[in-house]
Amino acid sequence: MKAKVWRVDPSEPDAKSIEEAASILRKGGVVAFPTETVYGLGAVYHMRDAVIRVFKVKRRPPDNPLILHISSFSQIYTLASEVPEAVHRLAEKFWPGPLTVVLPKTSRVPYEVTGGLEKVAVRMPAHNVALRLIEAVGDPIAAPSANLSGRPSPTTAQHVLADLGDEIDGVLDAGETLYGVESTVIDLTADPPVLLRPGAVPLEEVEKVLGKVCVPAFARGLGEAERALAPGTRYRHYSPRAQLVLVELKDYSDLSKLVDRVKRLVAENAGRGLRVGVLCTDETREHYSGLGAVVLSLGSRRDPFGIARRLYSSFREMDSLGVDVIVAEGVDERGLGLTIMNRMRKASTKRVVV
């Protein structure tokens, strides 16, 4: 089976394509669609067989919850048994947008969606294609990222097709996604709220609305939660096929230490006969010329948005170039840097802290 591809305008998708995709979903199919973060693999949330198929297609562990995507705030009352005032404040500022809230679930939400938890993760995506698809279906859509589990999340329809093209019913292709990393996930069932996964909305912006938010070690990409409390909290994620060695600095004010360690790691791995790639930034790129490594810059350290947006596609590009080992520079954890480091740490096979 080859997935049907509908190419649509991200601003004004044609109604026929949206309805065809919605019809497949209403009949229990699975369809990939763009959001402002990454492409998602959708099923109607209350159709258990369709939800189970999403897990099977992705090779996703069944205890790893899915996020439910809504197109209007009123739909949250179908999914959550309690909607505290904090949700309204967050929604006013961030919805539609890349913020997910975790709340107590209603009995209408199957445990297949929540990984057996009594909590449900909900967000309203800021993408016309996603919103119109949900509206056409008439129900919230359960959707993880549309990639094989453990692989970098897809930021284009081509990434989706490369991973899942023979196993899903269709994909709405609206070009490259905006943010390139997933939504921020906040657990509002805890007091104070807990950051389960950093994402496209920086923690600092969430704290302006909620006040202090707890940041456990696993949210920084350091270790795993005891169980999968939300997507990205347990299991290895986002990984290229190549081994990824992440080089971090305790203090990013002196990048010369970072460059020196990256160069040493390149030489060590090249000496073992391996094809080496370097993921760096504009500020250091020139230092890696002449090493015989494949060098890709993620952008400037002054533009963490750009770095986050290029991260997954750069992982996939390194794989397409046949690299065996990627040596990647870390970034400061402030703002979107926390999200970038979470993804890099979760993807890495080895960390080196200088």
Kindly state the average pLDDT of the residues 306-316.
97
Reference 103, options 117, 89, 124; nearest CA is 117
Phi, psi of 205 (to 5 degrees): -70, -35
Q: What is the pLDDT of residue 235?
A: 63
Q: What is the pLDDT of residue 236?
A: 66
Confidence of residue 139 (pLDDT cuts 50, 70, 90): very high
Q: What is the pLDDT of residue 91?
A: 98
- Strand blocks (E) in the chain: 4-7, 31-34, 39-44, 67-69, 99-104, 119-123, 141-143, 170-173, 184-187, 194-197, 243-248, 276-280, 294-297, 325-329, 350-353
* Helices 85-94 & 203-210 angle (0-180, nearest 10): 130
Give me the percent of the chain exceeding a pLDDT of 70. Answer: 97
Q: What is the pLDDT of residue 234?
A: 60
Reference 112, options 103, 104, 101, 120; nearest CA is 120
Residue 148 has pLDDT above 70, yes or no: yes
Distance separating alpha carbons of residues 42 and 280, to the nearest angstrom: 34
pTM: 0.95
For the ranges 20-24, 84-88, 220-224, 235-239, the lowest mean pLDDT is seen at 235-239
Confidence of residue 79 (pLDDT cuts 50, 70, 90): very high
Residue 88 has pLDDT above 70, yes or no: yes
Question: Which tens digit of pLDDT belongs to each residue from 110-138?
Answer: 999 999 999 999 999 999 999 999 999 99
Residue 232 has pLDDT above 70, yes or no: no
Q: Is the peptide bond before 192 cis (omega within 30 degrees of 0)?
A: yes
Distance separating alpha carbons of residues 77 and 101, to the nearest angstrom: 13
Q: What is the pLDDT of residue 289?
A: 93
Cβ–Cβ contacts within 10 Å for residue 262, how many? 25
Burial code of 162-185, b = ≥16 C-beta within 10 A, e = fewer? bbbbebbbbbbbbeebbbbbbbbb
The token duo for 329 is: 């520079």
Distance separating alpha carbons of residues 285 and 302, to the nearest angstrom: 14
Q: What is the pLDDT of residue 71?
A: 98
Q: Write down the mean pLDDT value for the chain.
A: 96
Q: What is the pLDDT of residue 228?
A: 65
Q: DSSP secondary structure string, 220-251?
A: GTSS--SS-SSTTSSS--S--SSEEEEEE-S-
Q: What is the pLDDT of residue 259?
A: 97
